Amino acid sequence: MQKPNEITALVLLINTVLGGLGTLYATTKSTQITLAAAVLVFLITVVVLVVRRVITPGGSPSPQGEDGRSGE
């Protein structure tokens, strides 16, 4: 399960992205540009989340559990 501050950060990120896309659509009146921006934001977010889960700061996959203990 995610920590409360991570959930809060994800909610804030989603809110910011939706607000930005709404502003983009309101200023450009172009559905195509707005959808292209939404797809790019989605892809970037997915890549960041996947890399964050797979790679640890040490540069290798983590053998530890969710709580940070190695089980020894």
In a domain, 34, yes or no: yes
Res. 56 pLDDT band, cuts 50 70 90:
low
Q: Where are the strands (E) in the chain, listed by range?
A: none
In a domain, 7, yes or no: no
- pLDDT, averaged across the chain: 80
- The total of structural domains in the chain comes to 1
Close Cβ partners of 25 (under 8 Å, ≥ 6 residues apart): 31, 33, 34
In a domain, 47, yes or no: yes
Token pair for 4: 């409360």
In a domain, 5, yes or no: no
**How does DSSP classify residue 5?**
H
| pLDDT at position 34 | 93
Sign of CA dihedral 52, 54, 58, 63: positive
Per residue in 36-53, pLDDT (tens digit) is 999 999 998 888 888 877
Which structural domain range is residue 20 located in?
16-54
